[in-house]
């Protein structure tokens, strides 16, 4: 899956966990954007986002990896890797 397309999918999942006043920040996120510090998200909610992505794409990300996914770039890297393993 193209990185840009995956990013849009993740952004759509993140939206429901974000304060309304923070949602505009989604338009300008980069690989370095930190979910907690830059988007004001709760780290536990990002775990929920990852679980939803797992269910949506039929992939599985190891627990110890999930704990390290603090930026957009890291999240996309891992998901692309898992998707590639599935030939997606």
Partner 1 sequence: MNRVVITGLGVVAPNGINIPSFTHSIRNGLSGIHFIQQLKDYAMGCCVAGTPIDFDDSILSKYLSPGAFKSLRSTTVKYALAAVIEAWINAGLTISGNNVDPDTGCIFGNGVCDVNHMRYAIEKLENLEVQKLGVRHIEQLMTSGSSAYIGGLFGLGNQVTANSSACSTGTEAVVMAYEKIKSGSAKRMVAGSCEASSPYIWAVFDAMRVLNRNHNNDPSAASRPMSIDSAGFVPGSGAGALILEDLATAKQRDAIIYAEVISGYVNSGGQRNGGSMTAPSAIGVKTCIETTIAKSGIHPREIDLICGHLTGTAADKMEIANWAAALDRRGEDFPFINTLKSLTGHCISATGSIECVAAILQMHHDFIQPNINCEKIQPDILDIISEKCIVREPMNKSITTVIKANFGFGDVNSCIIFKKYNS
Give the torsion sign (CA, 42, 45, 19, 23): positive
Residue 3 vs 15, nearer CB to partner 1: 15
Give residues 18-37 in contact with partner 1 (rule: CB under 8 A): 18-19
Does 9 participate in binding partner 1 (rule CB under 8 A)?
Answer: no
60: left (phi over 0), alpha (psi -120 to 50) or beta: beta
Least separation, in Å, of the C-beta of 48 and partner 1?
5
Does 41 participate in binding partner 1 (rule CB under 8 A)?
Answer: yes
Whether the CB-CB separation of 18 and 26 falls below 8 Å is answered with: yes
Does 67 participate in binding partner 1 (rule CB under 8 A)?
Answer: no
Does 55 participate in binding partner 1 (rule CB under 8 A)?
Answer: yes
Does 53 participate in binding partner 1 (rule CB under 8 A)?
Answer: no
For 11, 58, 85, 87, the CA distances from 35, given in Å and listed in that order, are 11, 23, 26, 28
Residues in touch with partner 1 (CB under 8 A): 16-19, 41-42, 44-45, 47-48, 51, 55
């Amino acid at each position: 899956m193209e990185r840009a397309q995956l990013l849009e999918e993740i952004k759509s999942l993140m939206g429901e966990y974000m304060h309304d006043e923070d949602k505009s920040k989604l338009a300008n996120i980069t690989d370095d954007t930190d979910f907690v510090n830059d988007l004001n998200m709760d780290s536990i909610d990002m775990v929920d986002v990852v679980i939803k992505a797992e269910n949506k794409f039929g992939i599985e990300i190891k627990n110890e990896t999930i704990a390290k996914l603090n930026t957009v770039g890291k999240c996309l890297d891992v998901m692309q890797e898992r998707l590639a393993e599935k030939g997606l």
